[in-house]
Amino acid sequence: MTPKEVMELAKKNNIEIIDLKFMDLIGSWQHFSIPISRLDEAFFEDGLGFDGSSIRGWQAINASDMLVIPDPSTAVEDPFMQVATLSMLCDIFDPITREKYSRDPRNIAQKAEAYLQSTGIGDAAYFGPEAEFFILDDVRYRSDTNQAFYYIDSVEGSWNTGREESPNLGYKPRHKEGYFPVSPSDSLHDIRTEMMLIMQKIGMTMECHHHEVATGGQSEIATRFSTLTKSADNLMWYKYIVKNVAKKYGKTATFMPKPIYGDNGSGMHVHQSIWKGGKPLFAGNGYAGFSETGLHYIGGILKHASAICAFAAPTTNSYRRLVPGFEAPVNLAYSSRNRSAAIRIPMYSPSPKAKRMEARFPDPSSNGYLVFSAMLMAGLDGIENKIDPGEPLDKDIYALGPEELAHIPRLPDSLDGSLRALEEDHDFLLKGDVFTQDLLDKWVDYKREKEIDEVRVRPTPMEFHLYYDV
């Protein structure tokens, strides 16, 4: 869509407000709105100034002036505003140099796609994230000097079988039995349907929706793969729509990886493939129908997985999910069909066009622009350097004994460990100026100062349970 076509669309739909959305460094949408009277073709060149020092992980106050310029190809009518509103995703520019901002996550995704093309390896990278989430009925939390607690509740929670609900109908999915019962045990079908139809209405291609494994309202809506930047754009719309539809029903949705103790956390399995000239490069005659190129891509992901975790599992809560012996894959192995491996080669279809790999360790707290870009850069490093992924592991890794497990490398067990891995292994990200050293330093500093240290210095209720009477 061109600027002229955006203006025609706005006129046709009687748009009154233009909403400009962009991504902060950590992974949340920010926005501001202008009246339709301010929109003309020059706006797509001149943009609008704003204070970059007030955005997480961005500018210092003495260099705060930034420009936001909308991408006309992203224009869609916002499905939640009372007044007719046209939303556009934006890119961030330096107002003096007119260069794209190096800490704008969307810019990094665009540079990753450009780098792929510059290598001659392929001309398109496709990503298909499967983001899981919880739909809850109540959430409360607080952390003060003398107290700390969280409380979540769901009408579906297995802990509520004995609650007075006037009447309690008893349909509560048991722990690890939420995949996937019909109504009335699945009480969220209509809500997910509305979410899926709204996603479809704004232009996303949908595949299915279903209840997920955990009790307490865990869900997933499957979207079709797209190119890297577009897929990251879609992921943000996905989160926005899920949260706002839940709010409409008086519920709340979270993409926090591990909000419930004792049941499955929420992952974001990421399907990936590279194409060139309309042909899939991962299809071949090797293991699981994979090509040498595809296996080298997997080799790159496995080699750099610990560093990738700084973006793929970017919260302290992520490592409540990535725990050895539990449902999330922490062992750096690959396999066909095997969901206990960190990388799986799906075997649903014999078609070469369906040949792809799936990274199973990321979670939905991640910034899609950054994690997709990091995985593409790791995979390309694997192709360029012909990195051997080793032998596949087709056994149930969860059932292996200590001797066998000792030979399988693992992901870091904490966010701090992932950040250390990123500090030690990041040259592959700097190729083509896709990631900059400035951005990586800022990411590590922000995560340590604003998240790790804040969690580290606070006692938890379980510590009182374990140690109060020592």
Catalytically active residues, by annotation: 51, 130, 132, 212, 220, 269, 339, 358, 360
Residue 111, both tokens:
């540079």
Long-range pairs for 431-436 at CB < 8 Å and ≥24 separation?
431/115, 431/377, 431/380, 431/381, 432/111, 432/112, 432/114, 432/115, 432/118, 433/111, 434/108, 434/111, 434/112, 434/115, 434/373, 434/377, 435/108, 435/373, 435/374, 435/377, 436/102
Contacts with 399 (C-beta within 8 Å, 6 or more apart), sequence order: none
Quote the CA–CA distance of 218 and 210 in Å, as a whole number.
Answer: 9
Torsion angle in degrees (nearest 10) through CA of 296, 298, 302, 305: 120
Nearest C-alpha neighbor of 288 from the set 394, 397, 409, 130 = 394
Instruction: Give bridge partners of residue 270 from the DSSP assignment.
Output: 129, 359
Question: Could you tell me if 94 and 243 are in contact, meaning their C-beta atoms sit under 8 angstroms apart?
Answer: no
| Helices 228-248 and 105-119, packing angle to 10 deg | 150
Burial of 402 (0-12, 13-18, 19+ CB in 10 A): exposed
Among the residues of 202-227, which ranges form H helices?
none
